[in-house]
Amino acid sequence: MKTLRYLLLERLYEWSKFPYRLLFKKEAAWGIPVKELLRYPLESLGYHLGCFLLQHNFTPEPQLEDHDIYHVLTGSGISVPEEIAMQFYLFGNGKRSLYLFMVLVLGTVLFPDHIKRFWKAFSTGRKAHPFYHLNFLKLLDQPLTTLQYTFKINTI
């Protein structure tokens, strides 16, 4: 059974998507459906993104496609603590944004019992070469393992 803290963060995320895209995202949406992603070579980032979306019954969020790429690259899950851990990973990797800081603060306050997980994700992100800023649309045909190796991305 989900507790109030899980439900609170899930609702905040749902409510924040539209204003976040409107205020902060300037990139165009990719417009690539899951079926098209699954046509990429089996070892490619694009194929693995399609598998991730299909596995979780997701559709690509316009202008937020990088978020799902981060899940694929870091091997992070989709539970609330795993989402927060992924943001700590990205913070360790050098990513900075108001949205990220809000997630870190709320996640730490609401999930103090996961602080070791968050610290480990932060430390792992620091060891990787910065990758958060890459144009992933241009890298969809690249092998996932090659990207992880090149940028020293270890899964969390």
> For residues 72 and 131, is the Cβ–Cβ distance under 8 A?
no
Could you tell me the pTM of the whole model? 0.87
Taking only the tens of pLDDT, the chain with its 156 residues reads: 568 777 777 776 666 665 655 555 677 889 999 999 999 999 999 999 999 999 999 999 888 899 999 999 999 999 999 999 999 999 999 999 888 998 999 999 999 999 999 999 999 999 999 999 999 999 999 999 999 999 999 999
Domain positions in the chain: 36-150
Enumerate the H helices of the chain as residue ranges.
4-24, 34-37, 45-55, 65-74, 80-92, 98-110, 115-127, 144-150
